[in-house]
Homo-oligomer: A and B are copies of this chain.
Amino acid sequence: MDNLSIPADSPGGPDSTEQRIFDAAHDVFVQKGLDGAKMQEIADRAGINKALLHYYYRSKEKLYETVARAVINRAFPVIRKMLESDDPLELKISRFIDFYIDLVSGNPFLPLFVITEMHKHQDRFFETVLSGQLPQPEVFFQQVESAIAEGRIRPLDPRHLLVNMVSMCAFPVLGRPMIRVVLGQSQQEMSVFLGQRKAEVKEFIFQSIQP
């Protein structure tokens, strides 16, 4: 699996104080959100004095913004490349599912963080995401239309297909605690269950779109 683990960013040396702060802030903000995060906890996790947070990042707001932008900038461009590649449709769908499920499984806090950020700070979110990394679904849509025309798949709205794909990959991580309890599973069983989904979702899709 690629190195998709998110915290690996910008500043100074890879073990500089600034970097340690960023990493700690990333962990705390991503798990607890802007309101739930405490500066002291970030300082403790970074193993440094709280004043250094302000020395390097002025304010909680600024620190949060830095983290939020980094998370967004790391998640979206890869998805975009994947949608715009010239892999044939079936392979593209397969790779997309694999990649997306790996991504959210390896970063279980990512979907909730991104979605919360998208809702609570919409302006900043789209300003960030619109700077060149907005996924362009046109290529994918075109491929679907062609496959329909060729009779390789049944007629369907490619937009709904795309939304279905993303939904089935992202939601299970969002709803994991609920799903786990409803299915009566342990944490380990739940990890297995989520792993199964790569195959299961692909099968579900390919069965659905066949002519």
A77 within 8 A of B: no
Given A167-B167, A207-B154, A208-B208, decide whether A159 and B183 contact each other with a Cβ distance below 8 A.
yes
- Closest-by-CB residue of B relative to A121 is B36
CA distance A163 to B197 in the complex (A): 10
A51 within 8 A of B: no
1/0 per residue A160-193: CB within 8 Å of B? 1101101110111011011101110000000001
Given A33-B120, A182-B135, decide whether A160 and B204 contact each other with a Cβ distance below 8 A.
yes
- Is there an interface contact between B174 and A174, defined as CB atoms closer than 8 Å? yes
A4 within 8 A of B: no
- Closest-by-CB residue of B relative to A169 is B167
Q: How large is the interface on A (under 10, 10 to 19, 20 to 34, 35 or more residues)?
A: 35 or more
CA distance A183 to B168 in the complex (A): 18
- Is there an interface contact between A205 and B208, defined as CB atoms closer than 8 Å? yes
- Is there an interface contact between B196 and A157, defined as CB atoms closer than 8 Å? yes
- Closest-by-CB residue of B relative to A164 is B168
Given A36-B35, A172-B163, A175-B170, decide whether A182 and B137 contact each other with a Cβ distance below 8 A.
yes
The 29 sampled A-B contact pairs (Cβ below 8 Å) are A32-B120, A34-B36, A35-B35, A112-B115, A112-B116, A115-B174, A118-B175, A118-B177, A118-B178, A119-B177, A129-B181, A130-B181, A137-B183, A156-B204, A157-B196, A159-B193, A160-B196, A160-B201, A161-B204, A163-B168, A163-B171, A163-B179, A163-B197, A164-B168, A164-B201, A167-B170, A170-B175, A171-B171, A205-B208
